[in-house]
Amino acid sequence: MELYQCSKADYKAYMKFVKEIYSSYPNYKDSATPVLKQFLYKRGAFCSSLDMIPVMVKKGHSVVAVCIYIHARSDEQVLQIAFFEALENCQEAVDLIMEKAKQLCGEKGLSRITVGLNGHINYGIGFLCDRHDADVCFGNSFTPPYYAGYFHKFNPKQHKLVSYSGSTDTLDFKKYGRLLARIKPKFSCRSMDFRRFREEMQTYTDINNICFKDHPFYFERTHEEDYELFKELSYFITEDNIIFIEDGGKPIGYLLWYPDFNELLGYGQTIGLSTFIKNKLFSHRIKKLKLVEIAILPEYQNSGAILGLLHECYLRNARRYETLETSWIFEENYKSRNFGIKLLEKEYKHYVAYEIPLEAL
């Protein structure tokens, strides 16, 4: 086996290999290819700020593994093994990828390697550990069951993540009635204003950079990066999909949700123009709500604002959607997991991402 650095001429083969990996999973819905293409061709403000090296491992003339080495200048000490894909029983290929990662860390003076992060947590994180036969919700990771095991030999620090799922008609806010009665007069909730799109995105970015700065794998985003990310999403989402919560007109947090657009895709189909058209014509067919992200400024963490946002989202959507699935939540994020347990009662899918100090290799 040999590891090769990809040129632009190799990108089609790279993406074809990824398609072939997932062709054997009949429940797979492809919302990842547009993101991968964006990174390979370095499109947009975020990708243009990264140092990236796409590689493939070949056995003879056949591709057996691929990844993109990413160094984000905002994440100074970390080299990412991002967008990793491989055939089964190819540990030798993974070893070559790790050897090259170690070499790059030495050349760049980096101290850690992450595996399972795709550029930034906004673009995907984690190898799926279970429920590989379940439906794939838009924006949630899906990977073959053998990926996670490829990296155990390197004794990584494991960052475990969990999602929650449940029926919207079982959500029980009645038990929080007294608390909500005290919360509601203190804060006001409003939808995002598309007429002030750039300004609203700046608010979103500023809140994120404050709230998530100490979370695993998070590093600071710029206003332009989030503006571009949501400009693309704006073809699918509405103003109602970001709910800001305010204290006397000051934004103190937000909740991001959207319909599970994957319900408009056939198995193996890639999200794109046809999905946009279907969403305009048949959005009523989507029965699952995806709860993506909640952020509250630190000084308001114990104010009840999180519960207020969740209740507001519920009031707007309970009659429209039958089921709800959350995005991933780090297992050490006890506050978010507590709401998942209390409102949805059961854990759904589990994911893992890895962090490997250079000295461990």
Angle between helix 334-344 and helix 305-317 axes, rounded to 10 deg: 40
List, by residue range, all CATH 3.40.630.30 domains of the chain: 2-162+353-360, 166-349
How high is the pLDDT of residue 280? Answer: 65
Query: CB-based burial of residue 281 (10 Å sphere; 0-12 exposed, 13-18 middle, 19+ buried)?
Result: exposed
Quote the pLDDT of residue 266: 79
**How far apart are alpha carbons 335 and 107 in whole angstroms?**
40
- The predicted pLDDT at position 265 comes to 84
Q: Virtual CA dihedral for 135, 137, 143, 145, nearest 10 degrees?
A: -40
Write down the CATH superfamily of domain 166-349: Gcn5-related N-acetyltransferase (GNAT) (3.40.630.30)
For the full predicted model, state whether its pTM sits above 0.85.
yes
Please state which architecture CATH assigns to domain 2-162+353-360. Answer: 3-Layer(aba) Sandwich (3.40)
Cβ-contact 279, 261 below 8 angstroms: yes
pLDDT along the chain (361 residues), means of 10: 96 96 90 92 94 97 97 92 98 98 96 96 95 93 97 96 89 87 94 96 97 92 94 88 97 96 82 67 85 95 92 91 93 69 80 94 79
Q: H or E element: which one contains 19?
A: helix 11-22
Query: Locate tokens 């006397």: which residue?
Result: 248
